[in-house]
Amino acid sequence: MRELTYIAAISEAIAHEMERDPDVLVLGEDVGGDFGGAFKVTEGLAARFGDRRVLNTPLAEQSFIGMANGMALMGLRPIVEVQFADFISTGFDSIVQSAATIHYRFGGKIPWVIRAPSDGGIRSGPFHSQNPEAWFVHTPGLKVVAPSNPADAKGLLCSAVRDPNPVVYFEAKPLYRSLRGPVPEGEHLAPIGEAAVVRPGTDLTVVAYGSQVSQALAAATDLAADGIEAEVVDLRSLKPLDFQTVAESVSRTSRAVVVHSANRLAGVGAEVAARIAEECFEWLDAPVTRLGGLDVPIPFSPPLEDAYRPDAQKIADAARRLAAY
Amino acid sequence: MRELTYIAAISEAIAHEMERDPDVLVLGEDVGGDFGGAFKVTEGLAARFGDRRVLNTPLAEQSFIGMANGMALMGLRPIVEVQFADFISTGFDSIVQSAATIHYRFGGKIPWVIRAPSDGGIRSGPFHSQNPEAWFVHTPGLKVVAPSNPADAKGLLCSAVRDPNPVVYFEAKPLYRSLRGPVPEGEHLAPIGEAAVVRPGTDLTVVAYGSQVSQALAAATDLAADGIEAEVVDLRSLKPLDFQTVAESVSRTSRAVVVHSANRLAGVGAEVAARIAEECFEWLDAPVTRLGGLDVPIPFSPPLEDAYRPDAQKIADAARRLAAY
Amino acid sequence: MSDPLGSHIREALFSTPPRPEEPKAPATQPESGETPADLADELRIDLYRWMRLTRTFDNTMVAMWKQGRGLGGTFSGRGHEGISVPIGLALGPDDVIAPMHRDVGSYLVRGMTPARVFGNLLGKVTGPSGGRDANLHGMGDLSLGIIGYVSHIPQQIPISLGVAMSFHYRDEPRVALTVCGDGGTTAGAYHESLNMAALYSAPLVLVVENNQYAYSTPLDQQMATFAITERAAGYGLTARTEDGNDVEAMYRSVKAAVDQARSGGGPTVIEARTMRMLGHAIHDGAEYVPPELLEEWETRDPVEGQRRRLLAGGVCDPARLEDIDAWARTEIDAAVAEAEAAPFPHPDTVSDGVYA
Amino acid sequence: MSDPLGSHIREALFSTPPRPEEPKAPATQPESGETPADLADELRIDLYRWMRLTRTFDNTMVAMWKQGRGLGGTFSGRGHEGISVPIGLALGPDDVIAPMHRDVGSYLVRGMTPARVFGNLLGKVTGPSGGRDANLHGMGDLSLGIIGYVSHIPQQIPISLGVAMSFHYRDEPRVALTVCGDGGTTAGAYHESLNMAALYSAPLVLVVENNQYAYSTPLDQQMATFAITERAAGYGLTARTEDGNDVEAMYRSVKAAVDQARSGGGPTVIEARTMRMLGHAIHDGAEYVPPELLEEWETRDPVEGQRRRLLAGGVCDPARLEDIDAWARTEIDAAVAEAEAAPFPHPDTVSDGVYA
Ligand SMILES: Cc1ncc(C[n+]2csc(CCOP(=O)(O)OP(=O)(O)O)c2C)c(N)n1
Ligand SMILES: Cc1ncc(C[n+]2csc(CCOP(=O)(O)OP(=O)(O)O)c2C)c(N)n1
Ligand SMILES: [Mg+2]
Ligand SMILES: [Mg+2]
């Protein structure tokens, strides 16, 4: 299969959905014209589909997301880009109060996607490196996905566009151009709500998502050299969460490490670890270990950011401790 | 000791701090004049301390919280009322991006308190019943407290005002006038970052905070009739979290239920349960159980809201299952 | 392209309970495009009829809550009927409205039955939110072109901007109308949305219900100048001030704004000056409002004002108005009975409908 | 009541490295209250001097990043020196400023050394954020009366409103000054904060750097009318437009606004019209900007303009200006060397300083 970078897979997914359905449109800061967004994800779309379908908005997250709510209520399917995931908090009400509750409160459908370029490791500091997915997983009424590879980046985005609910799509900036992989051409959907075992193993389970899946796979290779066979589960969808795949894995390996780039404290990993601890209690031979960002604003300077973030080395270290437990 | 309602204890704490320190002031929607706020917490303060220190703001959460950031940077100690905890999301950036990061980024101190009347059970529907504490516990740089009784309501608020950091203070609306208890007169501080064992017990530990502490105590009484002695730990402070007190209790009881009114999914209880599961692994005789709100917007109609919320009965049921494990 | 509202709206609009004294209901919907400098007599009577129904609803609701027959809190729209009725009546059947908590009139006009509104207030399964949302929140019904209220002020504005932009995008001759209070004008999303509405020439009408108070906070503690209309005009959209207690003036103004929006002329902000006659919510005695102010505005009551005008102008005789008043009473009494008799939702359904 | 800034500021302001050619540094701080209709010659030269230092800083930074000697991204303020320098110079020593990402000049004027700014850019422990914040963010130093930049636009405005309100509350004759871009004017908090600043008559000055673009988005895709000044006036505060490339006009205007605020006359918004001469950030080629526009604005360069003006008016001779240029070059070269030699923070300190 031909290979694409992670970012190219995202661009392809958007174009594919716009081609397929005239109700799909793109909006956000700087997404339009010849420019095509801070990361160039929407480059060329305005020329291809017209300015009306690729709309540059003023700097006004609360209201352009709110506007997407109204468009979606009328059956359009806006793909909203927030320039960095960090700025999603500026439009918070329009997501967690408005979009998230409308179906429950009176049956209105909000079939939008918010694309949030997230994650760090690339020396961008506290305001351009955030991973705010836990806020949205905790909020009733939203779906949240976080692809770890180019094929899922395309497949989950296409599924998100077609989903009748609001989906927050966290794309991992550090993977944009550093990760290439096979991506099916044409129609390709990845189901929302299904995790994937991306590396089978017998000795312990590493549960990860987004950019930490690559790190977990690298750690697994490293561990295999020591004879420790790690199974890697890529959650892919954080809400709904496919706990069954996690439980099935842990029931075989009896040991689990949960890892994400976001703050470990009260992060999505806490939910996963608490469920493993509760529902896989009888199978566990060791305590569930969590890795995540430190409880500090994401620092800029390389030694500090490296200390802040989980990586393959830290995952391997934790896995070794766990295997030796 | 004389007894006060939970809400009177809050009012007393504010007046006490304003009396003590001219840098303490109050601001928010409708807090001033003869009116004194939607719940009358600040009633009488404007007459006593002047309109300048009890400031009615326009409807503009982002900016009046942002204004509090600037005041606090200059050494004032604003006590900000958001009318309902539900509306704290409207000022989200000013809290999670601005206030939370300023000390780490350049050493500025933000000694404010945001008072957030939270929680439900009183038929107020999805927009006047929320418990958004998990968003803030997950965010680096904030402190978060949630008193369960009148004495702590006063003591934690006084401590929060004097703390050099931003503190989000979740007060439980359902306790406002329904819970009376002894409250020390004059100076009374409750330390931020210390949990309390509010009922000793030997068979299992119930970890709770806010309005669910009363429910846990009621459940414990019920359980005692069956010969099950539940220890109840009141977290009081959600960030920093006094895990030592929790661990010490679970090391004796070997069983734990964690309960809060907020959505169970990726709530603060997930963090507590994950830590118990990790750090108390060797002591546990049964899986850690979590109770919390369902993953739905908080419904209005009595049968739905009752189905949504944890209460003494549901805690007792869970505890019985756990004791029998 | 799919039309989520469909043409059911026209039907729904006229499917309210039969009104014996008002057989010519279509008169309430002047042909789109007609600018009513002189309003037809039947329309003028209709404005009264809907205001009377709204007022009777409000009186009854307030009485019930005082008697302890309510559930949770609620909001009175007394004094706002001169706004809430024409914003409903001036819209065409395929238009969409996003009302606030004092706009019961607009729900009724759009075809939501009083029984359903009471059902919502009482947490019954028959309310438009099925017991999920409280009081006058969440009363959306897209088949009637109504978007339920989001409490976070002024969320209705960006949502309505988006509805308007969907019409724009699809080249549909439809209009979105929404409402905010004086308090809403000081919130950030007000500014963002007005700026975008002007920028995109969105078919949007925003009515600012300037009722002089945001909860307990009077205008002069909300803004340095009361130039709501001038500030709105600054974005580059049409803006004007109206007497919100003059229902005919309001109808004309809203209708003109709707026509302008429909024909591609862009958005309008109408500042409707009025007074909130009861407290903020049912529990609020509003002691902070000077009694003289209320007395003055009581003399400008929009319902009684329209009644006097109809009689003075000889538009109809007193008997017809008394029939209307009696009809309203009957309608509302029946609605209360129906809502009180309706069941609560079953607890097992609590998690239904979070996702589509 | 405690004064978190203290009187160290005056000292700090003059503790920048010695400037051989500029012994009379105090001339940069006209006595508070004096409205400089005619600016003193030394002040006019000082405006040039700081602009030259700022420009040399900027040129050097851009070159370093192009050479791969940078860390992460950064933002050029080229063309904005006519704003960033006077907003610093027109303030008194106890005033507080909250600059944005193109306002390096104001940091330098307030006494932050170029070496510290480069330290921040390079993630060194010597930067004001100690390696915690990136590029021109987080460069706060309260001892210099500088608040670090929060990326979420326009957070600097409500923060500065609060700073102003603390002066108001304590009856201190101090002023808060902040900055936003044209893009910032379309965000909600801009509106909320201007409304409150006017309402409370806060001692606040806001300079809107209208540089015609928000990232790639030109003004006409941001707002329907470009009436930034008129809209600001609508809140009931003082508002005026200036040529942001005329540093003397800017100085006069900002100084008058600061004096007005200090004497209880309330807030001012100054729309400073200018052009962003390089891209949004270092990686941005800004192909979306018509080259003619840049060419036109190149002829209006604020630094060269002031140089020409000084020479034409005979305020000083060319040798003095060449000395200043050489001084700036020396200062900046030394600063780069110092910053490049400085250590990174130790990883063990990563969690230090989250809480006070
Ligand atoms: C963002 C937000 N903050 C606070 C509230 C609480 N609140 C409900 S109504 C109200 C006053 C609204 O005043 P106004 O907009 O003038 O409308 P009115 O009630 O007068 O009709 C407030 C503060 C809210 N609903 N939303
Ligand atoms: C709330 C928010 N959304 C998005 C961004 C990303 N962003 C950074 S600068 C910028 C453009 C700002 O334009 P303007 O205010 O005109 O300032 P300029 O860069 O022209 O100086 C954007 C969109 C941000 N910083 N904050
Ligand atoms: Mg009002
Ligand atoms: Mg700009």
Answer yes or no: is C20 within a domain: no
- A117 burial level (CB within 10 Å; 0-12, 13-18, 19+): buried
How many domains are contained in chain B?
2
Answer yes or no: is B188 within a domain: no
The answer on A216 and A164 residing in a single domain is no
Residues C222-232, mean pLDDT to the nearest whole number: 97
Whether pLDDT at C22 is above 80: no
Answer yes or no: is D25 within a domain: no
CA of C208 to the centre of ligand 1 (A): 13
The answer on B77 and B41 residing in a single domain is yes
Q: Which amino acid is residue C127, in one-letter code?
A: G
Residues B23, D1: C-beta atoms closer than 8 Å: yes
The answer on A212 and A100 residing in a single domain is no
Active site residue B16: no
Answer yes or no: is B187 within a domain: no
- Give yes or no for a contact between A195 and A246, defined as CB atoms under 8 angstroms apart: yes
- Give yes or no for a contact between A207 and A257, defined as CB atoms under 8 angstroms apart: yes
Answer yes or no: is D235 within a domain: yes
- The Cα C202–Cα C165 span in angstroms is 6
Give the minimum alpha-carbon distance from B303 to chain A in angstroms, rounded to a whole number. 16
Q: What is the pLDDT of residues D17-76, one digit of tens each?
A: 322 233 233 233 333 333 345 899 999 999 999 999 999 999 999 999 999 999 999 999
Residue closest to C72 by CA, chosen among C64, C82, C81: C64
Whether pLDDT at C26 is above 50: no
Answer yes or no: is A24 within a domain: yes
- The Cα B116–Cα B1 span in angstroms is 28
Answer with the one of B139, B154, B182 that is the final residue of a domain.
Answer: B182
Answer yes or no: is C349 within a domain: no
> What pLDDT score was predicted for residue D37?
57
The answer on A219 and A174 residing in a single domain is no
The answer on B135 and B217 residing in a single domain is no
The answer on A140 and A61 residing in a single domain is yes
The answer on B21 and B155 residing in a single domain is yes
Answer yes or no: is C64 within a domain: yes
Answer yes or no: is D1 within a domain: no
Chains within contact range of chain A (3+ C-beta pairs < 8 Å): B, C, D
> What pLDDT score was predicted for residue B1?
87
Whether pLDDT at A303 is above 90: yes
> What pLDDT score was predicted for residue D21?
32
Residue, of D7 and B296, whose pLDDT is higher: B296
Q: Which CATH number does the domain housing residue B111 bear?
A: 3.40.50.970
Answer yes or no: is B311 within a domain: yes
| Catalytic position from the list B128, B138, B188, B260 | B128
Q: Where are the alpha helices (DSSP H) in chain D?
A: 8-13, 41-66, 81-89, 104-109, 114-121, 156-169, 188-200, 228-233, 247-262, 291-298, 302-312, 318-341
The answer on A164 and A20 residing in a single domain is yes
How many domains are contained in chain C?
1
Q: What is the pLDDT of residues A236-284, one digit of tens each?
A: 999 999 999 999 999 999 999 999 999 999 999 999 999 999 999 999 9
- Give yes or no for a contact between B195 and B233, defined as CB atoms under 8 angstroms apart: yes
Residues near ligand 2 (Cβ within 6 A): A 29, 59, 61, 83, 87, 90; D 102, 151-153, 180-184, 209, 211, 213-215, 276, 280
CA-nearest residue for atom 9, ligand 1, is C215
> What pLDDT score was predicted for residue D5?
31
Q: Which CATH number does the domain housing residue B267 bear?
A: 3.40.50.920
Answer with the one of B182, B212, B238 that is the final residue of a domain.
Answer: B182
Q: What is the ipTM of this complex?
A: 0.95
Best probe of the D interface among C191, C192, C199, by most D CBs < 10 A, is C191
Best probe of the B interface among A61, A127, A139, by most B CBs < 10 A, is A139
Answer yes or no: is B106 within a domain: yes
Answer yes or no: is D187 within a domain: yes
> What pLDDT score was predicted for residue A1?
87
Residues B310-318, mean pLDDT to the nearest whole number: 98
Residue C154, preceding bond cis, omega within 30 degrees?
A: yes
> What pLDDT score was predicted for residue C348?
98
- Give yes or no for a contact between B158 and B188, defined as CB atoms under 8 angstroms apart: yes
Give the minimum alpha-carbon distance from D68 to chain C in angstroms, rounded to a whole number. 39
Residues C139-153, mean pLDDT to the nearest whole number: 98
- The Cα D265–Cα D175 span in angstroms is 11
Answer yes or no: is A189 within a domain: no
Answer yes or no: is A122 within a domain: yes
Whether pLDDT at C31 is above 90: no
> What pLDDT score was predicted for residue C27?
33
Residues C204-214, mean pLDDT to the nearest whole number: 98
Answer yes or no: is C234 within a domain: yes
> What pLDDT score was predicted for residue C137?
97
The tokens 């003006």 sit on which residue? D309
Residues A301, D344: C-beta atoms closer than 8 Å: yes
Angle between helices B268-279 and A268-279 (to 10 degrees): 50
> What pLDDT score was predicted for residue D1?
30
Q: What is the pLDDT of residues D169-205, one digit of tens each?
A: 999 999 999 999 999 999 999 999 999 999 999 999 9
Percent of chain B's residues with pLDDT above 70: 100
Whether pLDDT at C33 is above 80: no
> Counting runs of H as helices and runs of E as strands, what totals does chain B give?
12, 14
Question: Average pLDDT, whole number, for chain A?
Answer: 98
The answer on B118 and B223 residing in a single domain is no
The answer on B159 and B16 residing in a single domain is yes
Answer yes or no: is B70 within a domain: yes
Domain that holds residue B76: 3-182
Q: Which CATH number does the domain housing residue D318 bear?
A: 3.40.50.970
The answer on A217 and A167 residing in a single domain is no
- Give yes or no for a contact between A184 and A12, defined as CB atoms under 8 angstroms apart: no
Q: Using pLDDT thresholds of 50, 70 and 90, give the confidence band for residue C37.
A: low
CA of C209 to the centre of ligand 3 (A): 7
Compare CB distances from D355 to B62, B103, B105 and report the shortest one's residue: B103
Residues C245-251, mean pLDDT to the nearest whole number: 98
Compare CB distances from D189 to C188, C231, C236 and report the shortest one's residue: C188
Specify which residues D214 forms β-bridges with: D217
- Residue B254 CA to chain centroid, in angstroms? 26
Residue closest to C273 by CA, chosen among C296, C304, C255: C296
Residues A202-228, mean pLDDT to the nearest whole number: 98
Domain that holds residue C228: 36-340
Answer with the one of A157, A182, A207 that is the final residue of a domain.
Answer: A182
- Where chain D has pLDDT below 70, the residues are 1-37
The answer on A17 and A141 residing in a single domain is yes
